[in-house]
Amino acid sequence: MNLSRNWLSDFVNTDGIDNQTFCDRMTATGSKVEGYEELGSDIENVVVAKVTHMERHPNSDHLWICRVDAGARGHDIQIVTGAQNLFEGALVPAALPVAKLPGGVVIRAGKLRGVESNGMLCSMGELKLTSHDMPGKAEDGILILDNDCENRLGEDIRDVLMLRDTVVEFEITSNRPDCLSVIGLAREAAVSFEKELHVRQPKVQGCRGSDRVENYLNVRIDAPDLCHRYAARVVKNVRIAPSPLWMRMRLRASGVRPINNIVDITNYVMLEYGQPMHAFDYRCLDGSAIVVRRAGKDEAFRSLDSTDHVLDDSMLVIADRKKAVALAGVMGGENSEITDATATVVFESACFNGASVRVTAKKNGMRTESSTRFEKGLDPENCLPSLERACELVELLGAGEVVDGVLDVYPKPRPLTVLPFTPDRYNQFLGTHIPTGHMIHTLEGLGCRMENDRIVVPSFRADLACMNDIAEEVVRIYGYDQIESSNMHAETTLGGRTAKQQFQLETENLLVGMGLSQIHTFSFISPKDYDKIRMPADSPARRSVVISNPLGEDTSVMRTTALPSMMTVLERNHNFSNETVRLFELATVYLPHDAADELPDERRVVTIGLYGKTDFYALKGICEGILKASGIAATFAACTENPSYHPGRCASILAADRSVLGVLGQADPRMASNYGFDAPVLIAELDFEALFAHANTQKVYRPLPKYPATTRDFSFVCAEETEVGAIEGIMAKAGGKLVEKVELFDIYRGPQVGEGKKSVSMRVTLRANDRTLTVDEADQVSRKILNDLELKMGLTLRS
Amino acid sequence: MRETLEKIRESALEQIQSVGASLEQIRIRYLGKKGELTAVLRGMGALSAEERPKIGELANQVRADIEEAIAAKQRQKEALALEKRLKEEKLDVTMPGTPVAAGHLHPLTQVQRQLEDIFIGMGFSIEEGPEVELDYYNFQALNIPKNHPARDTQDTFYITDSILLRSQTSPVQVRAMEHRKPPIRIISPGRVYRSDALDATHSPLFHQLEGLVVDRGITMGDLKGTLEIFAKKMFGENTRIRFRPHHFPFTEPSAEVDVSCYVCGGKGCRICKGEGWIEILGAGMVHPFVLSNCGIDPEVYSGFAFGMGIERVAMKAYSIDDIRLFYENDERFLEQF
């Protein structure tokens, strides 16, 4: 809401309060100011002047040398101009050196093609005015002022054209539609600055009994659930003309374009009273009737911006006997628009259901000044004063003759809210010591009627409905800064993280400790991302939660896997030429249920992505690190079937119960190339929920060994395909309890072992808890190990 | 004999000092079993009883002198050798160190943890809830019915008519109040979604942290006190806070909360755009409608709630001017934290 301080001064005297103080105080009491603009401050030294003499410029075929009379600023000033609409005797705005014009333009004395020019004659555009602000004036050429300026030569153009004002921009919250008006803000200002509010009853003379509105019209509400009140008056003998300068300038300051007197009056009243109004051309109403009804299914309607709409029965229309003439509270119809030929006008001042207006405006893609006010829920008691004000303005402007009588259909008058007045409770709740007298003063200033222990809430404050609401009114005017900070004296609560939250935090720390950096990525992806990671077309994991109104396809489905997010980030880093990158994310994935009305499962996964100086075993080491820290005994099994991964370089991580904890490996080169990689990319996806379920973070101390260990080394030559994991497993099992550790310490490939083969060297550490192992015992275990390896894998010691 | 001994001493000491002498050979030559000094001592039997102790004393003295000279020379040699080695082992300390792979927590995580820890210290626990949420919890239970204009301030992504991507973390509060009885003291950090196109200051996805306290006798002064502690812990001990009246459908009274600029302390600078204050929080007393909706009697209990954007706090804390950086995850960005 843009508020003109000139206009405000009609209702409350805030003279002497500078703009900044005004804005700060209004914000402090709850009417948030976004900023203010001092209109006219960009114009300096532009005055009214009269062209007294004109002659052609000797060195130009289009320039004129004018002599102007600018009153006290000089009676004979020479100014060269290129305009062709001047004549001797014309009254014009003259910028006299050094003058300032909007847009930072500075006018100094100078020479134009050798002829001295002591200023500039201004066009409308040069003063930042439009033909809407100055109806009937030429847009090109110099602005020719009205003749009544004859006796104002030398006066500041800002005073002559009423260009001086301050516009304060308020951010009005949705609970305060009453503040979308000059009067509403005047009330707030009056309370905020302890001033008196002057709102008088509009006075309409009418036609002194010569004519009644009933002779023209009747009004019926067929949908009282959507229209709480409908009031109308008729104006005859209308003379459509521009509205006067003061009205145009106030509208302009409020950001509304002046059109003509009748339309301007409706806008003026909307801004002043907060009540949207509409004016119909009476001639276009069939059957002399107004029917407020639901639209028919597929009823066609053309709004006055010449847009066609197809309506439905959830929408409310204003109709005559035959057709809809307005979409209630949103916009009038082209069929009943005010034109220059309009002779009789019907003014509408009504109160429509907010939610209905909102839905209608949304469905038709037309949010208007009117609809944004109605949708917040307006005061039905405001209809009549606004209507009267409109008619008063008609008479003031001489725009027509107001017909006697008001048609007012108000099926169910709304009773006023009455609340108990409980000052002690307010103070207790707020933690304040506001005097009762101050509370009463504030509430009365805001329009409440105080009756002993009761507050009668004014009809325009539907937002005041309970104790908290009154407490807020009281304290916002008293000052939020008067609330003293206190410490809660309440029951002790135990703060902290749950086991799972703690586990997540530790997992993140662990990954960071292992040299990985954490990323955060969007939860929504493109359905095409599933193709990029080579997810099979029939994979159930493609079924995603779909956003019905996404910003674009790229962010249209909730991911069921965080792999595309990681790959995209890796790709971006690769494009940024970051050489070695090690990342992880604790990402949420969203797995839909079958029923559409059920919320999806939200599960967390740990994704890891590496490229650069790294390899599969580095990734595996990271995964093993997580498993070890989580106290999970897991095994790794080759996995050849995950299409995102290299079939020969992928492993599943299996818990002791054989459930899958995750997968890791090198990205399938085709997948990697979808993200611009030709070098290896390593990725892992761990199911965080499963990790947590299997985690055993209970630490139990095992006594340190008292007896020495014995080691035995074994080397075998085996086929390239033989898995070290299998050898390890057999060795550990064969050795039984005495085996403390089995580790790979060398792999050799080369001519000595032959093509397609490798030499695997393993070290077994043996130890007993209760004695030093004898050589015989160790040898016995070694024999058993060798025996089992030969039996189960056909491996023999390398000779 | 006395002269012989003196000679031995003289020549031994001379040899010890000579360059390139083998100290071991010198020791053997003079002090060994077959050494010159030993030979002299063997001849002592021929001396008179009167002279023997005197010569004996002298001989011991000569032995001690030679031994000491050898030891001293030995120490000197070792010192030289060490000096030489240290010289040879000199490193170019200006060469770079061997890099250790260092990982970094995402700045949003760091800020979120900092916030969490402040409130955990005040007895808050962390409550989580679904991101794909029912319209009921995100709006209706929070006093924002369907077709309410307050929905405009939060352009929402919808899945179906009744399911959406939560536009705030407040639904977690409603869920918490439904299954917990007061005293309630929770914070709910997490992802929220708004249908805003991505630019330097907007993101369709961002993180919020909200807090909720419900108990008997909770006042607006308590809200102010709690947020004051938060602001001091987060932005420094000299931080002040300012409440401005505002409207949120689920709190009444409501406030927007500014903290004094931690860069200029309130004088006005580039960070606070000359205002001296930075808007960081929304807060208020829980609306009685919301309480009773969750089965809590507003005549008995009262409460406060507050919320902030984690990105906003992080951007202010680290002087980051573009929200997109958080989601680009450029390694060069991440490694700065």
Shortest Cα distance, chain A CAs vs residue B272, angstroms = 15
- According to DSSP, residue A668 is labeled P
Question: What number is the average pLDDT over the span A337-346?
Answer: 94
> Between chains, do B113 and A505 touch, taking CB under 8 Å as contact?
yes
Residue A651 has pLDDT above 80, yes or no: yes
Instruction: Tell whether B168 and B273 lie within a shared domain.
Output: yes
Instruction: Tell whether A292 and A404 lie within a shared domain.
Output: yes
Instruction: Tell whether B294 and B148 lie within a shared domain.
Output: yes
Cβ distance A666 to A611 under 8 Å? no
pLDDT (tens digit per residue) in A567-615? 999 999 999 999 999 999 999 999 999 888 899 999 999 999 999 999 9
- What is the distance between the alpha carbons of residues A212 and A402, in angstroms, rounded to a whole number? 10
> Between chains, do A573 and B329 touch, taking CB under 8 Å as contact?
yes
Cα nearest neighbour of A472 on chain B: B253
> Between chains, do B334 and A519 touch, taking CB under 8 Å as contact?
yes
Dihedral sign for Cα B16, B22, B24, B30, please: negative
Shortest Cα distance, chain B CAs vs residue A376, angstroms = 6
Nearest CB among B130, B149, B153 relative to A375 is that of: B149
Residue A153 has pLDDT above 90, yes or no: yes
Minimal CA–CA distance to A710: which of A608, A778, A617, A770?
A: A778
Cα nearest neighbour of A357 on chain B: B147
Instruction: Tell whether B80 and B162 lie within a shared domain.
Output: no
Last residue of a domain, one of A433, A456, A482: A482
Instruction: Tell whether A225 and A335 lie within a shared domain.
Output: yes
Q: What is the pTM of this model?
A: 0.84
Nearest CB among A485, A496, A509 relative to B221 is that of: A485
Phi, psi of B161 (to 5 degrees): -60, -30
Instruction: Tell whether A28 and A63 lie within a shared domain.
Output: no
The answer as to whether A541 is a domain residue is: yes
pLDDT (tens digit per residue) in A84-107? 999 999 999 999 999 999 999 999
Q: What is the dihedral of CA B179, B183, B187, B191, to 10 degrees?
A: 20
| A-chain residues near B113 (CB < 8 A) | 505
Instruction: Tell whether A36 and A48 lie within a shared domain.
Output: no
Which of A517, A526, A598, A689 should one mutate to test binding to chain B, selecting the residue with the greatest count of B CBs within 10 A?
A: A517
The answer as to whether B94 is a domain residue is: no
Instruction: Tell whether A470 and A533 lie within a shared domain.
Output: no
A778 Rama sector, left if φ>0, alpha if ψ -120 to 50, beta otherwise: alpha
Instruction: Tell whether A529 and A638 lie within a shared domain.
Output: yes
Last residue of a domain, one of B88, B123, B145: B88
User: What is the percent of chain A where pLDDT is above 90?
Assistant: 90
| B-chain residues near A549 (CB < 8 A) | 157-158, 195
pLDDT along chain B (337 residues), means of 10: 84 84 85 83 80 85 89 91 93 88 94 96 95 95 86 84 94 93 95 93 95 95 96 92 93 94 82 85 95 93 96 90 95 94
- What is the distance between the alpha carbons of residues B222 and A437, in angstroms, rounded to a whole number? 25
Instruction: Tell whether B143 and B81 lie within a shared domain.
Output: no
Which of A23, A33, A192, A468 should one mutate to test binding to chain B, selecting the residue with the greatest count of B CBs within 10 A?
A: A468
> Between chains, do B101 and A582 touch, taking CB under 8 Å as contact?
yes
The answer as to whether B96 is a domain residue is: no
> Between chains, do B242 and A481 touch, taking CB under 8 Å as contact?
yes
Total domains, chain B: 2
Which of A491, A493, A494 should one mutate to test binding to chain B, selecting the residue with the greatest count of B CBs within 10 A?
A: A493
Shortest Cα distance, chain A CAs vs residue B93, angstroms = 25
The answer as to whether B210 is a domain residue is: yes
Full residue range of the structural domain in which residue A352 is found: 213-409
Shortest Cα distance, chain A CAs vs residue B215, angstroms = 7
pLDDT attached to residue B20 = 78
Instruction: Tell whether B244 and B164 lie within a shared domain.
Output: yes
- What is the distance between the alpha carbons of residues A639 and A651, in angstroms, rounded to a whole number? 5
A466 touches chain B (CB under 8 A): yes
A665-693 CB burial, b ≥16 within 10 A, e <16: bbbbeebbebbebeebbbbbbbbbebbbe
Which of A174, A505, A543 should one mutate to test binding to chain B, selecting the residue with the greatest count of B CBs within 10 A?
A: A174
Instruction: Tell whether A134 and A174 lie within a shared domain.
Output: no
Question: What number is the average pLDDT over the span A286-303?
Answer: 94
- Upper half-sphere CA count for residue A225 (Cβ side, 13 Å): 5
Instruction: Tell whether B82 and B137 lie within a shared domain.
Output: no
The answer as to whether A256 is a domain residue is: yes
A572 touches chain B (CB under 8 A): yes
The answer as to whether A203 is a domain residue is: no
- Mean pLDDT estimate for chain A: 94
Shortest Cα distance, chain A CAs vs residue B111, angstroms = 13
The two tokens of residue B95 are 């060469």
Full residue range of the structural domain in which residue B131 is found: 107-334
pLDDT attached to residue B99 = 82
Shortest Cα distance, chain A CAs vs residue B94, angstroms = 24
Instruction: Tell whether B80 and B111 lie within a shared domain.
Output: no
Instruction: Tell whether A432 and A545 lie within a shared domain.
Output: no
Instruction: Tell whether B179 and B134 lie within a shared domain.
Output: yes
The answer as to whether B255 is a domain residue is: yes
- What is the distance between the alpha carbons of residues B25 and B34, in angstroms, rounded to a whole number? 12
pLDDT attached to residue B19 = 74
Question: What number is the average pLDDT over the span A626-649?
Answer: 94
Residue A464 has pLDDT above 80, yes or no: yes
Instruction: Tell whether B240 and B324 lie within a shared domain.
Output: yes
Last residue of a domain, one of A447, A482, A517: A482
The answer as to whether A202 is a domain residue is: no
Instruction: Tell whether B77 and B204 lie within a shared domain.
Output: no
Instruction: Tell whether B18 and B129 lie within a shared domain.
Output: no
| A-chain residues near B288 (CB < 8 A) | 466-468
- What is the distance between the alpha carbons of residues B170 and B293, in angstroms, rounded to a whole number? 14
Shortest Cα distance, chain B CAs vs residue A178, angstroms = 14
**How far does Cα A108 stand from its chain's mean position?**
46
Shortest Cα distance, chain B CAs vs residue A666, angstroms = 20
Nearest CB among B121, B153, B302 relative to A429 is that of: B302
pLDDT attached to residue A298 = 94
Instruction: Tell whether A390 and A472 lie within a shared domain.
Output: no
Total domains, chain A: 6
Report the CATH number at residue A435.
3.30.56.10
| DSSP line for A777-789 | HHHHHHHHHHHHH
Instruction: Tell whether A567 and A671 lie within a shared domain.
Output: yes
Instruction: Tell whether B275 and B130 lie within a shared domain.
Output: yes
Report the CATH number at residue A85.
2.40.50.140
pLDDT attached to residue A596 = 82
Report the CATH number at residue B220.
3.30.930.10
| B-chain residues near A590 (CB < 8 A) | 131-132
Report the CATH number at residue A356.
3.50.40.10
The answer as to whether B93 is a domain residue is: no
The answer as to whether B275 is a domain residue is: yes
Cβ distance A192 to A265 under 8 Å? no
The two tokens of residue B109 are 């995580």
- Upper half-sphere CA count for residue A626 (Cβ side, 13 Å): 32
Report the CATH number at residue A574.
3.30.930.10
pLDDT attached to residue B42 = 80
Which of B151, B247, B260, B285 should one mutate to test binding to chain A, selecting the residue with the greatest count of A CBs within 10 A?
A: B247
Instruction: Tell whether A538 and A671 lie within a shared domain.
Output: yes
Nearest CB among B101, B109, B162 relative to A508 is that of: B109
The answer as to whether A705 is a domain residue is: no
The answer as to whether A704 is a domain residue is: no
| B-chain residues near A578 (CB < 8 A) | 330-332
A574, amino acid identity: H
Nearest CB among A468, A498, A516 relative to B253 is that of: A468
The answer as to whether A353 is a domain residue is: yes
The answer as to whether B102 is a domain residue is: no
| A-chain residues near B230 (CB < 8 A) | none
Last residue of a domain, one of A409, A436, A454: A409
Instruction: Tell whether A556 and A647 lie within a shared domain.
Output: yes
> Between chains, do A486 and B242 touch, taking CB under 8 Å as contact?
no
Per-residue pLDDT band for A489 (boundaries 50, 70, 90) equals confident
A511 touches chain B (CB under 8 A): yes
> Between chains, do A512 and B103 touch, taking CB under 8 Å as contact?
yes
Q: What is the dihedral of CA A67, A68, A71, A74, to 10 degrees?
A: -40
Last residue of a domain, one of B88, B122, B144: B88
